[in-house]
């Protein structure tokens, strides 16, 4: 198969997993930043969204959380077949699973004192089974070690965990939704960077650090990073992001658009300059001094000035290689294949590595 280096948008069209498409230039302010400065740049990009009313959420869910069969996409139960409107919570019932769906604040509303606009921010509100939602309450997410209860088929579970260093009551969503929830939390502590430090004083907020950066506690960062890395962005998340942006709030979840951002703010790439997607690589070297990557004799090679730093990342932002270039050209000898980002100094190149 022909090896190619393409604009990232072309790469992602070529793969089977759909990818979000922010407007051109939406993340320009993030270029060259890392850590706290990068998070603040994102806050300034996504703040000031169009605020919804609480009743608006019922209608919005019909666009943001509709299953392929037209039923409600329940985040906490996999036995429900709720019909929009007909089965929504009207204040009574919900004494067992599979009776009604309601509006779940996945980032508990008591953590931010039921304040607005957080209370109706669609990026953390999802339809969920009323009974299972009640079992969660306002407890943090976590890895349940001692189970006290589950939804049908063990889809969601609740119980206690000591991963924080103390014994906490936690709620654990299904594996297929852990990445969704992680990126939801990264969004919330970014969108509300200006007020998140004050939320620590509320009950059950052990996941929060009581500051604007990193905003999440050490164990919270560790947990959410693992969930983000192990459950990549899904087509459902991408559709949701696009609908919320285009039809409702007119802001985006940057961690769905650019999953690599998580690593530059909380993960392995702190301290390295982030560059938004859209940079162009070259299929073969040309007669100039710019860094390049090309394929020859079934091997990938990098040409750049000696002493420059080379880093290689996958599409989730996980760093696969970090080295200082001493040879020119340098043979890229790593086992990983697929769509890779090469950072040569501050120059990004995207490649499709087939072997």
User: What's the burial of 251, exposed, middle or buried (CB within 10 Å: 0-12/13-18/19+)?
Assistant: buried
Place of tokens 């690599």: 260
* Cα of 20 vs its chain's centroid, Å: 12
- pLDDT value for 20: 55
pLDDT above 90 for 127: yes
Q: Which two tokens stand for residue 202?
A: 């509320």
- Alpha-carbon distance of 224 to 229, in angstroms, equals 8
Considering the entire predicted model, what is its pTM?
Answer: 0.77
- pLDDT value for 343: 86
Average pLDDT over residues 230-256: 95
pLDDT above 80 for 281: no
- pLDDT value for 355: 67
By DSSP bridging, strand 330-331 and strand 319-324 are: unpaired
The separation between the first and the last C-alpha atoms of the chain, rounded to the nearest angstrom, is 10
DSSP state of 49: P
Look over the chain and give the mean of its residue pLDDT values, rounded to a whole number.
88
Considering the domain 1-25+276-355 in this protein, what is its CATH number? 2.60.40
When pLDDT is cut at 50, 70 and 90, the band that residue 315 belongs to is confident
Q: Where are the domains of the chain?
A: 1-25+276-355, 31-259
| DSSP H helical ranges for the chain | 8-14, 35-46, 56-64, 130-136, 175-191, 218-230, 235-243, 254-257, 260-266
pLDDT above 70 for 283: no
- Alpha-carbon distance of 171 to 135, in angstroms, equals 9
- pLDDT value for 345: 82
- pLDDT value for 297: 67
pLDDT above 80 for 161: yes
Average pLDDT over residues 120-140: 98
When pLDDT is cut at 50, 70 and 90, the band that residue 338 belongs to is confident
Non-local (6+) Cβ contacts of 233 within 8 A are: 17, 19, 20, 179, 183, 256, 259
pLDDT above 80 for 146: yes
pLDDT above 60 for 148: yes
- Quick: pLDDT tens for 90-122: 999 999 999 999 999 999 999 999 999 999 999
- Alpha-carbon distance of 232 to 183, in angstroms, equals 10
Non-local (6+) Cβ contacts of 51 within 8 A are: 116, 117, 120, 249
When pLDDT is cut at 50, 70 and 90, the band that residue 79 belongs to is very high
C-alpha separations of 156 from 136, 144, 325 in Å: 10, 10, 48
């Amino acid at each position: 198969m022909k090896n190619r280096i393409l604009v990232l948008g072309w790469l992602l069209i070529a793969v089977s997993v759909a990818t979000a498409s922010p407007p051109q230039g939406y993340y320009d302010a993030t270029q060259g930043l890392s850590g706290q400065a990068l998070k603040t740049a994102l806050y300034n990009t996504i703040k000031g969204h169009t605020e919804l009313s609480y009743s608006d959420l019922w209608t919005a869910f019909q666009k943001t959380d509709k299953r392929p069969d037209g039923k409600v996409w329940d985040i906490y139960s996999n036995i429900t077949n709720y019909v929009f409107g007909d089965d929504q919570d009207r204040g009574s019932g919900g004494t067992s699973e599979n009776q009604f769906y309601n509006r779940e604040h996945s980032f508990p509303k008591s953590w931010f004192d039921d304040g607005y606009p957080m209370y109706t921010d669609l990026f953390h509100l999802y339809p969920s089974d009323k009974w299972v939602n009640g079992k969660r309450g306002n407890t943090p997410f976590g890895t349940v070690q001692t189970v006290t209860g589950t939804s049908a088929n063990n889809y969601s579970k609740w119980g206690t965990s000591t991963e924080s260093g103390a014994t906490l009551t936690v709620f654990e969503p299904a594996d297929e939704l852990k990445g969704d929830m992680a990126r939801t939390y990264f969004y919330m502590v970014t969108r509300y960077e200006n007020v998140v430090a004050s939320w620590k004083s509320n009950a059950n907020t052990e996941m929060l650090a009581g500051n604007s950066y990193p905003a999440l506690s050490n164990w919270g960062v560790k947990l959410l990073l693992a969930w983000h890395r192990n459950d990549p962005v899904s087509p459902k998340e991408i559709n949701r992001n696009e609908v919320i942006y285009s039809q409702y709030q007119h802001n985006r979840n940057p961690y769905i658009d650019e999953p690599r951002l998580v690593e530059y703010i909380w993960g392995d790439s702190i301290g390295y300059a982030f560059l938004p997607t859209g940079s162009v690589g070259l299929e073969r070297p040309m007669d100039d001094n710019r860094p390049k990557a090309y394929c020859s004799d079934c091997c990938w090679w990098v040409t750049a000035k000696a002493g420059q730093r080379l880093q290689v990342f996958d599409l989730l932002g996980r760093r696969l290689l970090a080295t200082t270039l001493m040879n020119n050209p340098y043979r890229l000898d790593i086992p990983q294949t697929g769509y890779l980002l090469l950072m040569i100094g501050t120059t990004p190149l995207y490649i499709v590595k087939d072997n």
